[in-house]
Structure 1
Amino acid sequence: MKAVRVREFGDVDTPAIEEVAAPTAGPGEVLVRIRATAVNFVDILVIGGKYQFLPPRPFTPGKGPAGEVITLGEGVSDLRVGDRVLAMAEQDGYGEMVAVRQEQCYRLPEAMTFLEAASMSLVYDTAWFALRERGRIKPGDVVFVMGAAGGVGFAAVQLAKAMGARVIAGISGPGREGALAQVGVDGIVDLSMPDLRNSLRARIHELTEGRGADIILDPLGGDCFDAAVRALAWCGRLVVIGFAAGRIPEIRVNYILLKNIEITGLQISDYRKRRPELVAECFAEVFHFYETGQVRPQPATTFTLDRFAEALASIRDRTAKGRLVLLQD
Structure 2
Amino acid sequence: MRAAVVKEFGPIESHAVGDLPNPVAGPGQILVTVKAVAVNYVDSLVVTGKYQFLPERPFAPGKLPAGVVSALGPGVSGLKVGDRVLTLAEQGGYAEQVSVDARQCFKLPPSMSFIEAASMALVYDTSWFALRERARLKAGDSVLVLGSTGGVGLATVQLAKAMGARVLAGVSNAAKAPIALEAGADDIIDLSKDNLRDSLREQVYARNAGKGLDLGVDIVIDPVGGDAFDAALRALAWRGRLVVIGFASGRIPSVKANYLLVKNIEVSGLQVSDYRKRMPELMAQCMEEIFSLFEAGKLKPAATATYPLDFFGQALQDIVGRRVNGRIVLLPNS
1:269 counterpart = 2:273: yes
Give me the whole-angstrom Cα distance separating, in 1, the residues matched to 2:11 and 2:128: 31
Contact residue 32 and residue 99 of structure 1 kept, 8 A: yes
**Letter matched to residue 248 of structure 1:** I
Aligned to 2:302: 298
Contact residue 5 and residue 20 of structure 2 kept, 8 A: no
Which shifted more, 89-98 or 185-194? 185-194
Give me the whole-angstrom Cα distance separating, in 2, the residues matched to 1:302 and 1:32: 20
Give me the whole-angstrom Cα distance separating, in 1, the residues matched to 2:311 and 2:11: 15
Following superposition, the deviation at residue 183 of structure 1 comes to 3.1
Aligned to 1:324: 328
Aligned to 2:82: 82
Aligned to 1:288: 292
| Secondary structure of 2:32 counterpart | strand
**Letter matched to residue 198 of structure 1:** D
| Secondary structure of 1:4 counterpart | strand
| Secondary structure of 2:49 counterpart | coil
| Secondary structure of 1:177 counterpart | helix
| Secondary structure of 1:206 counterpart | helix
- Which of 214, 230, 234 does residue 230 from structure 1 map onto? 234
- Which of 249, 253, 259 does residue 249 from structure 1 map onto? 253
Number of residue pairs the alignment of both structures matches? 329
Following superposition, the deviation at residue 78 of structure 1 comes to 1.6
Task: Write the deviation string for residues 24-66 of structure 1: whole angstroms up to 9, x where unpaired.
Answer: 0011100000000000000000011010100111111000000
1:170 counterpart = 2:185: no
Aligned to 1:199: 199
- Unaligned ranges ≥5, structure 1: none
Aligned to 2:19: 19
Following superposition, the deviation at residue 193 of structure 1 comes to 0.8
Q: How does 1:1-329 map to 2 (within 5 A)?
A: 1-209=1-209, 210-327=214-331, 328-329=333-334
**Letter matched to residue 315 of structure 1:** I
Task: Write the deviation string for residues 132-164 of structure 1: whole angstroms up to 9, x where unpaired.
Answer: 000000000001100010000000000001100
| Secondary structure of 1:234 counterpart | strand
- Unaligned ranges ≥5, structure 2: none
Following superposition, the deviation at residue 263 of structure 1 comes to 0.0
| Secondary structure of 2:14 counterpart | coil
Task: Write the deviation string for residues 176-204 of structure 1: whole angstroms up to 9, x where unpaired.
Answer: 12432223311101111110000000100
Task: Write the deviation string for residues 110-132 of structure 1: whole angstroms up to 9, x where unpaired.
Answer: 01000000000000000000000
Give me the whole-angstrom Cα distance separating, in 2, the residues matched to 1:206 and 1:50: 41
Contact residue 27 and residue 75 of structure 1 kept, 8 A: yes
Contact residue 149 and residue 178 of structure 1 kept, 8 A: no
Which 4+ runs in 1 deviate beyond 3 A? none
| Secondary structure of 2:288 counterpart | helix
Task: Write the deviation string for residues 228-269 of structure 1: whole angstroms up to 9, x where unpaired.
Answer: 000000000000000000000011110000000010000011
Contact residue 145 and residue 156 of structure 2 kept, 8 A: yes
**Letter matched to residue 261 of structure 1:** I
* Percentage of identical aligned residues: 57
Following superposition, the deviation at residue 320 of structure 1 comes to 2.0
Following superposition, the deviation at residue 12 of structure 1 comes to 1.1
| Secondary structure of 1:324 counterpart | strand
| Secondary structure of 2:220 counterpart | strand
Following superposition, the deviation at residue 22 of structure 1 comes to 1.0
Task: Write the deviation string for residues 55-114 of structure 1: whole angstroms up to 9, x where unpaired.
Answer: 111111000000010100101002111110001100000000000011110110101000
**Letter matched to residue 257 of structure 2:** V
> Under a length normalisation based on structure 1, what TM-score does the superposition of the two structures give?
0.99
Which shifted more, 8-17 or 215-224? 8-17
Calculate the aligned-residue CA RMSD, in Å: 0.8
